[in-house]
């Protein structure tokens, strides 16, 4: 069974282990497969970078 490597990286982003996640254009489809199923996906904010890279950061929603 194929395990998507972005599952672990997104969890690390949400936990604060890493501060940002840089996605290359070739990896976007695999990243999106994990991201679209997250209940808090709107807290993972992307910023366009150079050459099609996207830098994602986790912004915690205030209650």
Per residue in 44-60, pLDDT (tens digit) is 999 999 999 999 999 98
Greater confidence (24 vs 62) lies with 24
Phi-psi region of 16 (alpha: psi -120 to 50; beta: other; left: phi over 0): left
What pLDDT is recorded for position 26? 96
Q: pTM of this prediction?
A: 0.85
């Amino acid at each position: 069974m194929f395990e998507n490597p972005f599952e672990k990286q997104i969890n690390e982003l949400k936990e604060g282990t890493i501060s940002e996640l840089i996605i290359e254009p070739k990896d976007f489809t695999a990243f999106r497969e994990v991201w679209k199923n997250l209940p808090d996906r709107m807290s993972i904010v992307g910023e366009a970078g150079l050459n099609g890279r996207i830098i994602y950061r986790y912004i915690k929603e205030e209650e």
